[in-house]
Amino acid sequence: MNNKRPPGLVAIVIYKTFVASLLAVTSIALLLALKNYPNLAAFSDFRVLEIKLTMIEWLINKFLSVSPIQLGFSGITLGVYAIITGIEAVGLWYEKRWAKLLVLGLVGISIPPEIFELIKGITILKLIVFLVNVAIFWYLLVHFHKHKR
């Protein structure tokens, strides 16, 4: 039995694992910000931040500019999406057909909004995410039936 996975599939699994981790960390940060919302507001008034910790102050102000309801909804949504992305990565690692279909569906759905975002304004990050998602979609579409065990 050949246990060697195709390099393209391994690259997609690594990317999906990275994205799932990033989403999970962001979800946790949002939910912790929600839990500590009053403390963050009090901390933002602390004058020591003006001199030494401008990045932290900027981040706290970003959290405080969003309502607690939006923070909670965003945190939970990102957490669910992190779980789904992690499931995709595991399914792709084991070369499951359902995982390939799930990734094709979710990536395919995300491409039109990404095009819309690029039309509104191109940034390096938007362009990289778009190109990676198009590459993943193309790779899985072309090699869908080739990776059977």
Q: For residues 50 and 105, is the Cβ–Cβ distance under 8 A?
A: no
Using CA atoms of 125, 130, 136, 138 in order, give the dihedral in degrees to the nearest 10. Answer: -150
**pLDDT tens across the length of the chain (149 residues):** 457 888 999 999 999 999 999 999 999 988 888 888 777 666 666 555 555 566 667 777 777 788 889 989 999 999 999 999 999 999 999 999 999 999 999 999 999 999 999 999 999 999 999 999 999 999 999 987 765 54
Given this model, what pLDDT does residue 63 score? 73
d(CA 28, CA 67): 16
pTM to 2 decimals?
0.78
Contacts of 78 (CB under 8 A, 6+ apart): 23, 24, 26, 27, 30
